[in-house]
Amino acid sequence: MIAAALVFLILASYAGILFTIQRRTAHDWACPKCHRTAHLERLSRPEWMKKLAGFLPLKYIRCRFCQQTFFLPLTVKNPLSNTPSEEEILD
Ligand SMILES: [Zn+2]
């Protein structure tokens, strides 16, 4: 019984983590807080994210203007950058 409760607790926390990531994922190249596009920089993902949800195809972005951090799908490209994206390098 205690084991079942523990398993449920772990699954519920993991679902919570995935939900948090999903809630912090934007879908365009713009800061969700201040809506600027010119101040975004890509950072390496936080350690907890690498360990718990490293399989998700997300990049971690910080807005240098308002310090907001959020996630973006790898398919969303920086429209201001001339460097090729990961997918283009892999091809
Ligand atoms: Zn911002």
- Mean pLDDT for 76-83 is 81
From ligand 1's centre to the CA of 11, what distance in Å?
33
Helices (H), the chain: 2-23, 47-53, 86-90
Can you give the residue range of the structural domain that contains 17?
2-90
Q: Cα(65)–Cα(34) distance, rounded to whole angstroms?
A: 8
pLDDT of residue 60 exceeding 60: yes
From ligand 1's centre to the CA of 21, what distance in Å?
18
From ligand 1's centre to the CA of 39, what distance in Å?
7
State pTM to two decimals: 0.80
- Mean pLDDT for 78-88 is 69
The structural domain count of the chain equals: 1
- The pLDDT of residue 51 is 92
Q: CB within 5 A of ion ligand 1: which residues? A: 31, 33-34, 63, 65-66, 68
Give the H/E segment covering residue 1. none
